Amino acid sequence: MKHTSLFCIIGFLLLVSTGCVEQTGKYKRLQAQLDSIQVATTAKDAELDEAFATLNEIEQGLKSIRETENLLKLQSVQGGEISASVREQMKSDIQYIAATMAAYKAQITKLEQDKKYQSAQFQKRLQSITAELESKTRLIEDLSRQLDEKDRLLVIKTEQIISMDQSIAMLKNDLIQLEQSNVQQLNKISELDRQMYSGYYIIGNKSELIAAQVLSKGGLFRAAKVSYQAEKSAFRQIDIRRIFDIPLEAKKAKVLSIHPTGTYSLDSDDNGLLTLHIVNPNSFWEQTKYAVIKID
């Protein structure tokens, strides 16, 4: 019973003593310092969390950039022409990546300048991200140069194609004119050839030849003469290179035009009808290209 009373008295004295300490100024100052340290620690933890969150965000953004970068590298090394739509999309992607990395660099620079973030782990991550940003910047600059070079070559190629099209159009026009000129030349040559190798003949009795103004009437003391002033329409035209026999459809005939002896003959068939056979065409047509044959 005495022990129990003693413990109660001691507990009471301790409670009274503790209450007295809490009321002292020194205790209150210590408590205030502790509270201030806890607030500062909490704020610093929050800042660190925010800084690491920024790093996480940048690393996540770099992951997305890597995927886009791989697609851009694939498109830039593929052979053949890049379509206008793909080229514009590549330009847009490059601009987006460049702008994003510029924003990331600004965030990294701000973190580097803040002396509060000096832990080894933090600095290591910061250096790794900075190195990758520099690498990506060089890559984007290289891709941008490649795309600009493709655009430059495309402009040159387009100009070359336009020039070639114009040259082809001019050549086609020259070819058309040349063909037209050739046709005209061929027609002219053909006409000259036709004239050079054309022969003319007329067959008829005396009255018919006079009517055609090929033979003059003559008189008692004047023989009829052959005239070559008659219209060509009175004669039949032949190609002297191909026609060597002229049927006369008569049993009596005489060649009135001037042709060397021995250059032709008058041959009769089984019915006695005569045919003018030209033995030597060159000599026969040498003096005149008009043959006049009188039949009876």
Enumerate domains of the chain plus CATH numbers.
Answer: 26-76+83-164 (1.20.58), 197-295 (no CATH)
Least-confidence region, from 45-54, 148-157, 165-174, 233-242: 45-54
In this prediction the pTM is 0.42
Residue that wins the pLDDT comparison between 12 and 186: 186
Contact 289, 198 (CB under 8 A): yes
Over residues 162-177, mean pLDDT:
88
Measured CA to CA, the distance from residue 279 to residue 125 in angstroms comes to: 115
Where would I find the beta strands (DSSP E) of the chain?
198-204, 236-239, 245-247, 253-255, 264-268, 274-278, 290-295
281 pLDDT band, cuts 50/70/90, is: very high
Measured CA to CA, the distance from residue 284 to residue 199 in angstroms comes to: 10
At 38, give phi and psi (nearest 5°): -65, -40
Answer whether residue 87 shows pLDDT above 70.
Answer: no
Measured CA to CA, the distance from residue 257 to residue 287 in angstroms comes to: 9
Answer whether residue 134 shows pLDDT above 70.
Answer: yes
Q: How far from the centroid of its chain's Cα atoms is residue 291's Cα?
A: 67
Answer whether residue 94 shows pLDDT above 80.
Answer: no
Beta bridge partners of 90: none
Measured CA to CA, the distance from residue 276 to residue 199 in angstroms comes to: 14
- State the burial class of residue 117 (Cβ atoms within 10 Å of its Cβ: 0-12, 13-18, 19+): middle
What integer pLDDT is reported at residue 220 of this predicted model?
34
Measured CA to CA, the distance from residue 216 to residue 225 in angstroms comes to: 5
Cα separation values, 293 from 38, 259, 266, Å: 145, 12, 11
Residues sharing a CB contact under 8 Å with residue 131, sequence separation 6 or more, in sequence order:
none
Measured CA to CA, the distance from residue 200 to residue 240 in angstroms comes to: 9
Measured CA to CA, the distance from residue 83 to residue 154 in angstroms comes to: 11
Q: What is the mean pLDDT of the chain?
A: 75
Residue that wins the pLDDT comparison between 83 and 71: 83
Measured CA to CA, the distance from residue 209 to residue 293 in angstroms comes to: 9
What integer pLDDT is reported at residue 48 of this predicted model?
52
Residue 88, SS3?
A: helix
Q: What is the pLDDT of residues 187-238, one digit of tens each?
A: 888 888 888 899 999 999 988 988 888 887 764 334 455 665 666 778 899 9
What integer pLDDT is reported at residue 269 of this predicted model?
93
Residues sharing a CB contact under 8 Å with residue 270, sequence separation 6 or more, in sequence order:
none
Over residues 140-165, mean pLDDT:
81
What integer pLDDT is reported at residue 219 of this predicted model?
40
